[in-house]
Amino acid sequence: MGIRRYRGQIVCDRRWPDGTRMTRVCPNRTQAKALLARIDASVADGTWRDLQERLRLRGDPCVQLKVFSETYLNGYAKVRNKKRSWQRKQTSFNMINKFMGKVQIRAINAGLLHSYVQWRKKRGASDATINRDLTIVKHMLNYAVECKILRNNPVEKFRNLKEELKERQRFTEEQIQKVIGSVNPIRRPVFRFIRETGCRREEALSLKWGQVQEAARLVVFTEDTKSRKYRYVPLTEAAIAAIHELPLLEECPYVFYDPVTGKRLKECRKAWEIARDKAGVPELQVKDLRRDYAIRLAEAGADMHDIQQVLGHSSVATTEKHYAQFSPRHSARKILCVLEGKASQAKTA
């Protein structure tokens, strides 16, 4: 403990009162002594926890990835990301740390990431899952640069894997309505509303009456939105009917609630899974309602930027890539109309 030389570097090594150990590489012995003096003074006056946190956030390029990943999760992800997002990052780090958790963050390079990709592929991870892990590592190192722990991100330009886009099954109106009709009546209005607005499940569950502008036939989504931005979505007659399917409760501000408890519905996944199995369409997911909503708008001629706005995507590329994909049959019909239109013009001329 104290100041020591390790592999040609001056290291300040000290244990905090809570038993955790702090090691920091210093450019010279003078700065190492000054750091030890600051630590001893903070322990003496009881402010050592504040200093410990400041030093943690400033970090050390020699710190191991598994240690800095906790700093990143607590100092950045949990502050800026929604709960589901930072939990997803935490899940990724469980695998990342298994492979390279003991590696110092300054030692992370492209070769190490290539090895990680091979390691994950051997264990059956999909390209999409591996890409999420790579993106999280790159973002964590950007955070290290922002905190002035690293001078630059050595893997910032590391290319993700090229994901193979598989066509998602297009479900018929009959199949969709059959599943919705099989849902428990208490939760059925939620799915009818999702079907007519293309909103996310949590957006529907958290919907309050103050967000509904029935006279203008609009609903504004402000809570539990993935992008944290509000957006307006038009209300069809079927959407308005779904809103009024449950009687208004004065003591409950939520549109969709549990009649037994009088409180908002917190979960509806189970009801959907039971209904789709009962209807004989086990592949139909709730997000397929949102995707089908986007496809119907696109095939009806709606502008892609307008579809992006009502779905709440930050980029129109996301809308085109994952949601508003034209069916092959629809595209063929459009081409046929163009060809027949030109043929008729030629005959007229």
Does 128 share its domain with 185? no
Contact (CB, 8 A) for 149 and 105: yes
Helix crossing, 269-279 with 173-182: angle to 10°?
Answer: 120
Predicted confidence at residue 199, as pLDDT, reads 92
Confidence of residue 326 (pLDDT cuts 50, 70, 90): low
Does 22 share its domain with 51? yes
Q: Please tell me which residue, 1 or 20, carries the higher pLDDT value.
A: 20
Does 30 share its domain with 109? no
Q: Is residue 157 part of a domain?
A: no
Whose CA is closest to 92, among 46, 39, 136, 153? 136
Residue written as token pair 């950045």: 76
Q: Is residue 154 part of a domain?
A: no
Mean of the pLDDT values across residues 81-102? 91
CATH code (residue 80): 1.10.150
Q: Angle CA(279)–CA(282)–CA(283) in degrees, nearest 5?
A: 130
Mean of the pLDDT values across residues 261-272? 89
Does 184 share its domain with 246? yes
CATH code (residue 224): 1.10.443.10
Range(s) of the domain holding residue 97: 65-146
CA–CA dist 136, 26 (Å, integer): 29
Predicted confidence at residue 83, as pLDDT, reads 82
Whose CA is closest to 20, among 46, 55, 45? 55
Q: Please tell me which residue, 315 or 56, carries the higher pLDDT value.
A: 315
Among residues 40, 58, 76, the one where a domain terminates is: 58
pTM for the model stands at 0.64
Predicted confidence at residue 347, as pLDDT, reads 44
Q: Is residue 261 part of a domain?
A: yes
CA–CA dist 228, 312 (Å, integer): 9
Q: Is residue 163 part of a domain?
A: no
Q: Please tell me which residue, 265 or 225, carries the higher pLDDT value.
A: 265
Residue-wise pLDDT tens digits, 336-345 = 777 777 554 4
Mean of the pLDDT values across residues 119-133? 94
Does 306 share its domain with 240? yes
Contact (CB, 8 A) for 311 and 290: yes
Mean of the pLDDT values across residues 321-325? 67
Supply φ then ψ for residue 228, to 5 degrees: 65, 20
Predicted confidence at residue 313, as pLDDT, reads 84
Torsion sign (Cα): 340, 341, 344, 349:
negative
Q: Is residue 193 part of a domain?
A: yes
Confidence of residue 349 (pLDDT cuts 50, 70, 90): very low
Region of residue 59 (phi > 0: left; psi between -120 and 50: alpha; otherwise: beta):
left
Does 283 share its domain with 265? yes
Confidence of residue 8 (pLDDT cuts 50, 70, 90): confident
**Residue 191 in tokens:** 């799915």
Does 71 share its domain with 36? no
Does 75 share its domain with 26? no
Mean pLDDT of the chain, nearest integer:
86
Contact (CB, 8 A) for 138 and 113: no
Task: Tally the domains of the chain.
Answer: 3
Helix crossing, 83-100 with 110-122: angle to 10°?
Answer: 100
Does 308 share its domain with 264? yes
The set of long-range contacts for 188-193, using a CB threshold of 8 Å and a minimum separation of 24, is 188/245, 189/242, 189/243, 189/245, 189/246, 189/256, 190/242, 190/256, 190/265, 190/268, 191/268, 191/272, 191/286, 191/289, 192/238, 192/239, 192/241, 192/242, 192/245, 193/239, 193/242, 193/243, 193/255, 193/256
Predicted confidence at residue 187, as pLDDT, reads 92
Does 230 share its domain with 279? yes
Residue written as token pair 């892609």: 304
Predicted confidence at residue 348, as pLDDT, reads 46
Lowest mean pLDDT among 70-79, 224-233, 239-248: 224-233
Per-residue pLDDT at 346 exceeds 50: no
| pLDDT above 90 coverage of the chain, percent | 45
Per-residue pLDDT at 23 exceeds 90: no
Q: Is residue 341 part of a domain?
A: no
Which stretches of the chain are assigned E, i.e. beta strand?
A: 2-6, 9-15, 21-26, 212-213, 218-221, 231-234, 257-258, 263-264
